[in-house]
Chain A
């Protein structure tokens, strides 16, 4: 295996149109390996489109997206990058266990790894339940287990904590931190500001452009605010005044 480059995700001048509407208007950033990067922004700002471009399922108009030094979505990346979509992408007519075992098997992993992933997301008690009968948060956790099971080098998560209770949210963030500590790179979109503080770096997307690309501490310092929510409001108001 080639050595992991320091930059895990590199995006240059990415432009994406959906229909005739521009969604991403030339964004660039570099995500360092072994970090947790938060992608924040109001709904409709282009977070999901950005994430889909990183995993290579989004048609792009121009610009480049490279993951682990290769074009996003290219074949060698498919066993190294995992993607958790916003709506739990699992099979409702399969049990939790069968769902996770299926995705595990696609990557050549076995039942014990699947069981461990189910345990990690706290779904062991529901392993034999049909996914279609689970609550929204349980579906999300099952979907997450389907990604964790492959121990990806890059884990891309689109709003993974929506609808989860605070305890589980806390546990998941602990896991994200732990994965990063072990060397994985995580890109997590969220619109919950208190999650932003658990990221190493923040990308704030607004109307298809990054209005901030910084560490939480630097963001607070630059805007002279105590919390990130206030920092973002400050940035947005500055922009609106400039318009």
Chain B
């Protein structure tokens, strides 16, 4: 692995993203707007919004990273640039970590805008420190990225890649505690929920919600998400083949 090539790769991916002004606008504005919408819907129940809004702060970068990673990587695969890169000094890890850095930066920008709007203007309330929320959101976004990287290997068209959203992302959103508390689901479903990494991001956020100081439980939950990032990244990197048929 080469740090230099990793940063060159991240710079290239960011430049590609920045050249697409409309996507940049959507990335930055949409989560804040949707959270504002949710806050208006839950106008009479601020305590419910505190929970939902906080989860959404992590859910958006997760979805976004999944989508843009799976599609950008699919383009690299189908456009021939991946094959070309595999004949250059670029290592697989250089490429994957380059993606993580570039899209991690995009996730950070998105989270900053959404969190600022939610905390400053929409009255979102959490007892814990803002940096902890931020950290959980970024790690969750990286999980979305790693999952998108892995999934892109199984799609041959962008159309298919988009269809993977309902398969890999939506169930996690439903079962993570966003629409219904996990402990009130059917017993077997709680088991499924416990097996999904996004659930631990939500648990970590719940810790930040109620505790003024960061807790060991939060670190534990975040570690689970981070482990999922590593596993998905390794699986994803394994799908990048130097030699193909």
Interface residues of B in 1-37 (CB under 8 A from A): 4-5, 8, 12, 15-16, 19-20
A130 at the interface (CB under 8 A from B): yes
Nearest opposing residue in chain B for A106, CB measure: B88
B125 at the interface (CB under 8 A from A): no
A55: chain B residues within 8 A (beta carbon): 87
Contact with B along A80-99 (1 / 0, CB 8 A): 01110101111111110010
A95: chain B residues within 8 A (beta carbon): 19
Q: With A18-B245, A56-B242, A93-B20 given, is the CB distance from A73 to B88 under 8 Å?
A: no
Closest Cβ–Cβ distance, residue B14 to chain A (whole Å):
11
Closest Cβ–Cβ distance, residue B225 to chain A (whole Å):
30
A181 at the interface (CB under 8 A from B): no
B160 at the interface (CB under 8 A from A): no
Contact with A along B76-102 (1 / 0, CB 8 A): 000111011011111000000000000
In Å, the complex CA distance between A151 and B90 comes to: 17
Instruction: Indicate which residue in A78, A90, A91 contacts B89 across the interface (CB closer than 8 Å).
Output: A78
B84: chain A residues within 8 A (beta carbon): 83, 85, 89, 146
B16: chain A residues within 8 A (beta carbon): 91, 93-94
Whether A58 contacts B88 by the Cβ 8 Å rule is: no
A19 at the interface (CB under 8 A from B): yes
In Å, the complex CA distance between A109 and B215 comes to: 48
B80: chain A residues within 8 A (beta carbon): 85, 87-89
B245: chain A residues within 8 A (beta carbon): 18-19, 58-59
Closest Cβ–Cβ distance, residue B71 to chain A (whole Å):
12
Whether B12 contacts A102 by the Cβ 8 Å rule is: yes
Whether A58 contacts B243 by the Cβ 8 Å rule is: yes
Closest Cβ–Cβ distance, residue A70 to chain B (whole Å):
14
A57 at the interface (CB under 8 A from B): yes
Instruction: Indicate which residue in B4, B5, B12, B89 contacts A94 across the interface (CB closer than 8 Å).
Output: B12
Which of B5, B86, B89, B90 is the most central at the interface, judged by chain A CB atoms within 10 Å of its CB? Answer: B89
B244: chain A residues within 8 A (beta carbon): 57-59
In Å, the complex CA distance between A89 and B78 comes to: 10
Closest Cβ–Cβ distance, residue A103 to chain B (whole Å):
7
With an 8 Å Cβ cutoff, the count of chain A residues facing the other chain is 33
Closest Cβ–Cβ distance, residue B101 to chain A (whole Å):
15
Q: With A91-B81, A94-B12 given, is the CB distance from A57 to B88 under 8 Å?
A: no
A79 at the interface (CB under 8 A from B): yes
Instruction: Indicate which residue in B5, B20, B79, B242 contacts A106 across the interface (CB closer than 8 Å).
Output: B5
Whether A56 contacts B243 by the Cβ 8 Å rule is: yes
Interface residues of B in 213-245 (CB under 8 A from A): 242-245
Which of B12, B19, B88 is the most central at the interface, judged by chain A CB atoms within 10 Å of its CB? Answer: B88
In Å, the complex CA distance between A95 and B89 comes to: 22
Whether B12 contacts A98 by the Cβ 8 Å rule is: yes
In Å, the complex CA distance between A30 and B16 comes to: 41
Closest Cβ–Cβ distance, residue A106 to chain B (whole Å):
5
In Å, the complex CA distance between A81 and B84 comes to: 11
A105 at the interface (CB under 8 A from B): yes
Closest Cβ–Cβ distance, residue A84 to chain B (whole Å):
8
Instruction: Indicate which residue in B4, B81, B90, B242 contacts A90 across the interface (CB closer than 8 Å).
Output: B81
Whether B90 contacts A94 by the Cβ 8 Å rule is: no
Whether B12 contacts A59 by the Cβ 8 Å rule is: no
Whether A85 contacts B83 by the Cβ 8 Å rule is: yes
In Å, the complex CA distance between A133 and B78 comes to: 18
A82: chain B residues within 8 A (beta carbon): 87
Whether A102 contacts B89 by the Cβ 8 Å rule is: no
Nearest opposing residue in chain A for B76, CB measure: A91
Interface residues of B (CB under 8 A from A): 4-5, 8, 12, 15-16, 19-20, 79-81, 83-84, 86-90, 242-245
What 3 A-B pairs come out closest when comparing CB atoms?
A89-B80, A89-B84, A105-B8
Some 29 contacts from A to B, beta carbons below 8 A apart, are: A18-B245, A56-B242, A57-B243, A58-B245, A59-B243, A59-B245, A73-B87, A73-B242, A73-B243, A78-B88, A79-B89, A81-B87, A83-B84, A87-B79, A89-B79, A89-B80, A89-B84, A91-B16, A91-B79, A93-B16, A93-B19, A93-B20, A94-B12, A95-B19, A102-B12, A106-B89, A106-B90, A107-B89, A108-B4
9 extra interface residue pairs, beta carbon distance < 8 Å, beyond A78-B88, A107-B89: A57-B83, A58-B244, A59-B243, A87-B79, A89-B79, A89-B81, A93-B16, A107-B88, A146-B84
